[in-house]
Amino acid sequence: MLPRRYLPALPALLALEAVDRLGTASAAAEELALTQGAISRSLQGLEAQLGVTLLIRERQRLRLTAAGLDYVAEVRKALTLLAAASLSLRANPTGGSLNLAILPAFGMHWLAPRLARFARDHPEVTVNLSTRLRPFDLTETTFDAAIHYGRRDWPGVDYLPLMDESVLAVGAPSRLSGPLPSAAAVLDHPLLQLESRSGDWGRWLTQHGVAERRPGGMLFDQFATLTQAALLGMGLALIPTFLIERELADRRLIPAFGQPIAAAGSYFLVWPQNHPLRAPLLSFQAWIRAEVRDSSARPD
């Protein structure tokens, strides 16, 4: 942020803009409902603050210097932006943009199909989505909120639980003719895993009685590419069930062994703690709470 000494008073900027447009201090004073002396003092104070001569005084008229003309052009842009922002707020006090950081798989399969309902219910809000794979400092960005997978381990945020997750070991029919005879038999196949969840196969094996194993495997940064690799028969994968409902129904992927198990984390909506919440985020929070509450009872 610029030091405050470089931020002139708004009345001085309004006076300069009016004088440039109208040509005299008296005309500017009449437009701004001030005295001519107040206009003159504002302009003198502005020149003293900036240390630059902005005006040439010629009898009854005021003419801007070259530096003054350049400066007032930028001032006019800033004043126009301020006026537009005020007009927009007055016309739409509960609306505006909502900048949301999402996880790609969750965003595509869970959030995106529901956003049409939010747009219908809240036409005053424009939702902007951008992918972020890992926690970051929300206060240092333009994001209002983010989708988080894991535990409550994102510092400096508040949490709204969205969904728990279960994962299933699967493979393509080209690799599996049917379920394996034992959980340990997955170790006879190449294992595919998400880079950010490299311990999932070890957890899965422990859940099925095969302890103290943390197998390696090919790493992927997103579920989309991991799922595609599984579909191509490159190995077995642990994938959240909500991401592969269609593939399981079409038998393009088949369970390798056992039932789905609870994942290590859950999905949350997070936003900065101790930070004023903008109206679009408040609307989104209320809407997504209702979606979470009703999702099990309402078909998508």
Q: What is the pLDDT of residues 8-37, one digit of tens each?
A: 889 999 999 999 999 888 999 999 999 999
Residue 299 pLDDT grade (very low, low, confident, very high; cuts 50, 70, 90): very low
Amino acid identity of residue 99, one-letter, is: N
Read out DSSP for the chain?
---GGGS--HHHHHHHHHHHHHSSHHHHHHHHT--HHHHHHHHHHHHHHHTS--EEEETTEEEE-HHHHHHHHHHHHHHHHHHHHHHHHHH-TT-EEEEEEE-HHHIIIIIHHHHHHHHHH-TTEEEEEEE--S---GGGSS-SEEEEEESS--TTEEEEEEEEEEEEEEE-TTT-SS--SSGGGGGGS-EEEEGGGTTHHHHHHHHTT--S-----EEESSHHHHHHHHHTTS-EEEEEGGGSHHHHHTTSSEE-SS--EEEEEEEEEEEETTSPPPHHHHHHHHHHHHHHHHTTTS--
Q: Does the structure show a pLDDT above 60 at 296?
A: no
Query: How far from chain centre, in Å, is Cα 198?
Result: 26
Strands 157-171 and 145-150: unpaired
pLDDT, one tens digit per residue, over 89-108 is 665 555 688 999 999 999 99
pLDDT, one tens digit per residue, over 107-123 is 999 999 999 999 999 99
CB-based contact 180:257 (threshold 8 Å): yes
Domain with CATH 1.10.10.10 in the chain: 4-91
Percent pLDDT > 70 in the chain is: 93
Domain with CATH 3.40.190.10 in the chain: 96-161+266-294, 164-264
pLDDT, one tens digit per residue, over 193-208 is 999 888 899 999 999 9
Residues pairing with 97 in the sheet? 126
If one looks up domain 164-264 in CATH, what number appears?
3.40.190.10
First to last CA, the chain: 46
CA dihedral 131→134→139→140, nearest 10 degrees, is -80
- Please give the Cα distance from 127 to 116 (Å, whole number): 11
If one looks up domain 4-91 in CATH, what number appears?
1.10.10.10
Residues pairing with 237 in the sheet? 170, 192
Which has the closest alpha carbon to 227: 186, 167, 147? 167
Residue 300 pLDDT grade (very low, low, confident, very high; cuts 50, 70, 90): very low
81-85, 218-222, 276-280: segment of lowest average pLDDT: 81-85
With respect to CATH, is domain 96-161+266-294 assigned 2.70.98.50?
A: no
Residues whose CB is less than 8 angstroms from the CB of residue 197 and which lie 6 or more positions away in sequence, other chains included: 238, 264
Q: Whole-structure pTM over 0.75, yes or no?
A: no
